[in-house]
Structure 1
Amino acid sequence: MTITDIQLFPMADHVRGKRSPVTCHFKCGNACLGPECNTSANPHFRDIASAALTRRALLGLGAAGAVGIALAAVAPAGSATAAPGGAAFGRGSGLPFDAIAPVPGVVDDFNVPAGYTWAPIIRWGDPLFSGVPALDFDHQTVEAQAGQFGYNVDYIDILADQSGRTAVLAANHEYVNPGLMFTPSSDPAELDRRAAIYKAAHGFSVVELRRSKLGQPWRYLVDGRRNRRITADTVFEVTGPAAGTDLMKTAADPEGRWVKGTLGNCAGGTTPWGTVLSGEENFDGYFAWAADTAGQKRYRATPSSASTYTFERIDPRFDAHDAGYLNEPNRFGWIVEIDPQDPSSTPRKHSAMGRFKHEGANVIIAEDGHAVAYMGDDQANDYLYKFVSKGTFTPGKSAKARRSNLDLLSEGDLYVARFTGNSPAAEVTGSGALPADGQFDGTGEWIPLTRNGESVVPGMTTEEVLVFARLAADAVGATKMDRPEDVEPNPKTRKVYLALTNNSSRTLANVDEANPVTGNRNGHIIEMTETAGQSGSTFGWNILLLCGDPAVDQNTYFAGFPKELVSPISCPDNVAFDSEGNLWISTDGAPSKIGFNDGLFKVPLEGPERGHVQQFLSVPREGETCGPVIHDQEGMVYVAVQHPGENGSVATPTSHFPDYVPAHRPETGLVAAPRPSVVQVWRA
């Protein structure tokens, strides 16, 4: 953890566009450098074939307080230049704006349209409780971090109470960047002390908010009655068929039902019953990894003697080479559920929803009353999944209804998607050029991995299907996709939108109509329509966007909207919807040939403006836009800013977000590094 020169990071010579090798190292363990995890011969429409798996060959199974910190300095309204020809859209919306021009990646600023302003709600290190100190870069402790707002945030939601003047912020903490938290050290004892702080900076924060009236900015509350920190050491209950099975048991948990901590939390969703879901994504990098069975290799292809953060030096459960903890990685990679209204509740991991590198999960209540969750597996050439609950949703706000709904994700069936195109294979050329019928589209089916809670995959037990969901999906012939990230149903139309962020490994030999671009650097968005109801087994689909910068990328596509009028967009990551059903997209990676800062974009989905991508905001230098929440009827937008200034260090920061006051520390001669934050934007 002493590295400050980014050229020493393994991905330094491999990244393209804005993505930093620092992010590759700490967020996903340089996954792109390793061998392909998915070596199955699964279909790209041209070659549909699957073979039954045998257990032995593939699995190798073995053993209310005072108001807190005041708003930071508020940015001036309209801090970005409007895009040429940018038009205000959504006249009936609470968020009319002129699209901003793309912001060059060297700019360290948070940019919003004319008529809007912004401020952080809360920053990494802000105390949630009165007995906890504010962040002090030079005197960090485990105890302090466990009571402070955690590090990088991917998913957020603002859950307002009936008055609209109080709320709770739920936020997850995906990973940390040691180079922006501490100055370099080579002392083993100090590095171990820091590793414990990194553990405490993961997990969740639940924070109470207060404001004077609707449409005004929030302040967070120290000692709010619902304030809570969940860390890598908080106990979670395992639910569903895999709970208590041999695959989940370890030396520390011989019952296989209680897991300490959650890690690598990426996107998420708020359920209709008011709980918050999050996906454990790049969990493999937290372990010294054995990778000596096919089941393990399907999640990380190569073994490792040390984890990214060296947690195994301070906690034996992170050393998967130890026979007593061989199964510890099996206890991560799940959808977790927390109740932000009850700080005494035990969070849960739902095994019925399958284990993979979850981007997140988003729930809609189907026409027949079942809860349906859509989930992407965020790795190149992996799959799209759906979960359908056994039970049905109980409407109403009674305590009885809520108790019933809290169990909906514990039982049900898991499905994986197979896409089929309707154009001849010869018309899918890999360039992104549209086929003769004018669009990339087709049909699809949801293939069951479990039915009535039991395995339907030949040669695999139910717990094997769920713990090794990737192997089960391989066996039934699921379609390899270009890194499925956030996937969400539109609450107005019930159509489902899938963000495929990119896949540079896609070759001409394996392009298909749902993934039609070779070396897909900019990503795309698929629009899906369930043809037999939300819990049905068939769907239609079309590509809504082929992302990129039309000025330099010839074969971009924006649902037929004129390319010269759109904002350039690359690497769609999280999606959200406003009250009118418009799609909002946050990005993680600027257009590969330009290098703009990441941002948030609005896309109408109906009428003559369908496909008109327009940029609403941009985040600071080297930052990523995450977790958009759109409260357009109040004129409010919320985002999380991950890893601002990630190529800098505590000694030489490349960003001063969010305070933009380079606070000098006389005792060290250093300038404070940037702080990941949750930001609110409102009409000035």
Structure 2
Amino acid sequence: MTATDSPDLLPMWGRTHGNRSPVTCQLKCDSACAHPVPNRSAEPSFADIASRQLTRRSLLIGTGAVAVAAAVPPLSVRPAEAAPRAAGAGEVGSGALRFTPIASVDDAVDALTVPKGWRWTPILRWGDPLFDDSPAFDPTVPDAEAQERQFGYNNDYLDILVTDRRGRKALLCCNHEYVNRAIMFPPTSSAALEREVLKATMAAHGFSVVELRRSATGRPWRYVRGAAKNRRITAYTAFELTGAAAGSDLVTTAADPSGRRILGTFGNCSGGTTPWGTILSGEENFNGYFRADPGARGSARYGLTNKPSTYGWENIDPRFDATGPDYANEPHRFGYIVEIDPQDPTSTPRKHSALGRFKHEGANIRVDRDGTVAAYMGDDERFDYLYKFVSKWKYRPGSSASARRHNLRLLTEGDLYVARFSGVQNPGNDNLGTGSWIPLIMNGESVVPGMTHEEVLVFTREAADTMKATPMDRCEDVQPNLQSGKVYVVCTNNADRGVRPGKPGPDAVNPRAANKNGHIVEITERGDSAGATSFRWDLFMVCGDAGQAGTYFGGWTGDVAPISCPDNIAFDSRGDLWIATDGAPSSIGKADGLFRVPLQGAERGHLTQFLAVPVQAETCGPVVHDTDGSVFVAVQHPGEDGSWEQQLSFFPDYVPEGATPRRGAWRGPRPAVVQVTKG
């Protein structure tokens, strides 16, 4: 599937904005925004912004139509080097992470652009061999068994866990969210060969754990082929289902009558790293992988349909055809938070039903001084919700075997909440609003009328509908700032806000109609407690170009970088926020990137750009190690609109101008994890 395919195959053709490709929309989320909003019960939960004076900020909201995507411009390939600095920008940041901000980069440029005085190097690319017996990368001969032993495709969530005191050993942990068969493998000449391609795409999904080494702190990392902890998790890896839904009739299938052993994970978007050393991964757009009975419970609410799936896996594995009785419940076994132990490559990864089932962007953990554990989660769908889970048990510090066993059960049982935002508390005080965490599960029992505990965990969206949660503009990353305790909710966009009949219009926490640029909400929980059931909130950022009506940058009134569609976030050791984007700045034609913004002090809201990714790529999984001056990102779907015969990106294996490519070397994009360091 490429950008030259019929618009009939690409429902988002002509409906995207910025640099987002309709191919990406189809492959990543089954073109969700081209279909009816799954939340048919969504109603405004407090007064529309149109009927009130918002605040002294004078947010002048314009409706605006969603921009129509232009045809892909001619490519401009240039060496990967520092971009011109942003107009009027001096150095920003602190310590080892001081840099001169870059100016926005044209989205037709096939380069990864970093500040002057910095360099980037790839750590791992799609197809890199991870084990001693891994075959060399050769996409001309698709091989599922080979791909199971190689680094997967389209990395999203990322973390680099330093594992020794000298800072020379680490574990790289990352998701592999989705694939693009059209640019990965050549066209096939037989059904048998195409089946092998489909199996290879299944193997390219999932997760990787890879050991890293470096010569000294601040030097680039290199991965270790054949290391003891290297691991690949795919669409066929066995998972244990935990929580009250495990063993329920809602999750049993012909292949798993126990309802406790699930094969595979896919559509994994963002995630989080726990204080006890495990990795959390969010199963997001799982619906596009199945054919299902549209009349079955939950099908419409989760976007399941009876049409050929995005990847055609139902043609090689019967569990992806949920139209019959044997696998009718198979879709109910996806949409969870997955927990993986990167220290033990023999461990069975788990799916935690206690955290609910929806299109999880990810989950991030906060632990209070008294040991209270909370996980914050967003449902990445138009007009869906913000959630919090509070564990039944307290966190036990330390690395003893007993503490580890205890902490590994923290996400298996607890209270599940959904957020309801209230209107402006004091219109003269920076739009400060209030909100409540509405319980869905409390003390091991459902509090949702007409739904059992198991039903709430499997049909979580229905439960939240019943409890009148606030419909949000696609909650992506939701992370607590461990320095301040505040929680940041990234709402990436919602072009249907105030546009589609019968759906919510703008409100105080989702302040724009046809919201194509997104915003970030700042939450302060009552008593600064992870277990609080109420909170205050503020709008920290309303994205777009600084001169555009309705934008707001934390109170900063000077120059800022244009930003649109915030997605993944990270914090540095000072507590400053780093934002990765997926959709390009609102000044259409600019590449996605990574941005830094202080959250406190005189510089609060001063947004600057650190890097820009190659043509048609998305910035994912930022990791900031400011003690040694390292920044890491996952570069996803470069050259998405290309084809096998006509590739549109050569990231990250660029050939210097005038040089001859190595004989036999494949020329095309390889999604990769890169590190950016000084030097």
Question: Which of 189, 193, 207 is the matching residue for 1:190?
Answer: 193
Structure 1 letter corresponding to 2:366: I
Cα-to-partner distance string for 1:469-503 (whole Å, 9 max, x where unaligned): 00000000100000000000001111100100000
Correspondence 1:273 to 2:309: no
Cα-to-partner distance string for 1:429-456 (whole Å, 9 max, x where unaligned): xxxxxxx636333000000000012111
Shift of 1:526: 0.5
User: Residue 496 of structure 1 corresponds to which residue in structure 2?
Assistant: 487
Q: Is the 8 A contact 1:77 1:114 kept in 2?
A: no
Q: Is the 8 A contact 1:226 1:343 kept in 2?
A: yes
Q: Is the 8 A contact 1:320 1:328 kept in 2?
A: yes
Structure 2 letter corresponding to 1:159: L
CA distance in 1, matches of 2:265, 2:449: 31
User: Residue 674 of structure 1 corresponds to which residue in structure 2?
Assistant: 669
Identity %: 58
Instruction: Give me the TM-score of the superposition, normalised by structure 2.
Output: 0.92
Correspondence 1:543 to 2:534: no
Alignment partner of 2:26: what SS? helix
Question: Which of 492, 500, 523 is the matching residue for 1:528?
Answer: 523
User: Residue 604 of structure 1 corresponds to which residue in structure 2?
Assistant: 598
User: Residue 313 of structure 2 corresponds to which residue in structure 1?
Assistant: 311
CA distance in 1, matches of 2:134, 2:635: 24
User: Residue 102 of structure 1 corresponds to which residue in structure 2?
Assistant: 104
Correspondence 1:658 to 2:652: yes
Correspondence 1:136 to 2:130: no
Q: Which moved more, 1:595-604 or 1:76-85?
A: 76-85
Cα-to-partner distance string for 1:554-582 (whole Å, 9 max, x where unaligned): 221001101x5100111000010000000
User: Residue 371 of structure 1 corresponds to which residue in structure 2?
Assistant: 373
Task: Trace 1:219-298 onto structure 2 (pairs within 5 A).
Answer: 219-298=222-301
Cα-to-partner distance string for 1:1-32 (whole Å, 9 max, x where unaligned): 58853755221121122110010110000111
Consecutive unaligned residues of structure 1, counting only runs of 5 or more, are: 48-74, 425-435
User: Residue 148 of structure 1 corresponds to which residue in structure 2?
Assistant: 150
Q: Is the 8 A contact 2:3 2:23 kept in 1?
A: no
Q: For residues 227 and 560 of structure 1, do their structure 2 counterparts lie closer, same or farther at Cα, with a shift above 3 Å needed? A: same
More helix by share: 1
Question: Which of 561, 576, 579 is the matching residue for 1:567?
Answer: 561
Q: For residues 6 and 170 of structure 1, do their structure 2 counterparts lie closer, same or farther at Cα, with a shift above 3 Å needed? A: farther
Q: Which moved more, 1:135-144 or 1:240-249?
A: 135-144
Structure 2 letter corresponding to 1:250: T
Cα-to-partner distance string for 1:155-181 (whole Å, 9 max, x where unaligned): 010001123101110011000011110
Cα-to-partner distance string for 1:615-667 (whole Å, 9 max, x where unaligned): 00011010000000000111000000000011112211111100112986978
CA distance in 2, matches of 1:501, 1:127: 34
Cα-to-partner distance string for 1:246-300 (whole Å, 9 max, x where unaligned): 0010000000000000010000000000000010000000001222134221001
Q: Is the 8 A contact 1:442 1:542 kept in 2?
A: yes
CA distance in 1, matches of 2:641, 2:516: 21
CA distance in 2, matches of 1:643, 1:634: 29
CA distance in 1, matches of 2:168, 2:661: 36
CA distance in 2, matches of 1:367, 1:2: 51
Alignment partner of 2:39: what SS? coil
Cα-to-partner distance string for 1:543-563 (whole Å, 9 max, x where unaligned): 000000124x2221001101x
Alignment partner of 2:674: what SS? strand
Q: Is the 8 A contact 2:45 2:468 kept in 1?
A: no
User: Residue 72 of structure 1 corresponds to which residue in structure 2?
Assistant: none
Correspondence 1:447 to 2:438: yes
Runs (4+) of structure 1 exceeding 4 A deviation are 1-4, 75-78, 662-667
Alignment partner of 2:109: what SS? coil
Alignment partner of 1:278: what SS? strand
Shift of 1:215: 0.7
Alignment partner of 2:676: what SS? strand
Q: Is the 8 A contact 1:269 1:278 kept in 2?
A: yes
Shift of 1:511: 1.1
Q: Is the 8 A contact 1:619 1:641 kept in 2?
A: yes
User: Residue 75 of structure 2 corresponds to which residue in structure 1?
Assistant: none
CA distance in 2, matches of 1:119, 1:558: 32
Task: Trace 1:29-48 onto structure 2 (pairs within 5 A).
Answer: 29-46=30-47
Instruction: Give me the TM-score of the superposition, normalised by structure 1.
Output: 0.91
Alignment partner of 1:195: what SS? helix
CA distance in 2, matches of 1:557, 1:595: 22
Q: For residues 122 and 11 of structure 1, do their structure 2 counterparts lie closer, same or farther at Cα, with a shift above 3 Å needed? A: same
Q: Is the 8 A contact 2:17 2:583 kept in 1?
A: no
Question: Which of 454, 459, 463 is the matching residue for 1:468?
Answer: 459
Aligned Cα root-mean-square deviation (Å): 1.8
Q: For residues 103 and 2 of structure 1, do their structure 2 counterparts lie closer, same or farther at Cα, with a shift above 3 Å needed? A: closer
Structure 1 letter corresponding to 2:468: G
Task: Trace 1:285-434 onto structure 2 (pairs within 5 A).
Answer: 285-300=288-303, 303-422=305-424
Structure 2 letter corresponding to 1:558: F
Q: Is the 8 A contact 1:289 1:307 kept in 2?
A: no
Alignment partner of 2:12: what SS? helix
User: Residue 70 of structure 1 corresponds to which residue in structure 2?
Assistant: none
Cα-to-partner distance string for 1:180-232 (whole Å, 9 max, x where unaligned): 10123464332222110000000111100000111110000001110000000
Cα-to-partner distance string for 1:338-389 (whole Å, 9 max, x where unaligned): 0000000000000000000000000011243121000000001000000000
User: Residue 220 of structure 2 corresponds to which residue in structure 1?
Assistant: 217
User: Residue 450 of structure 2 corresponds to which residue in structure 1?
Assistant: 459
Q: Is the 8 A contact 1:152 1:174 kept in 2?
A: yes
Structure 2 letter corresponding to 1:393: Y
Structure 2 letter corresponding to 1:252: A
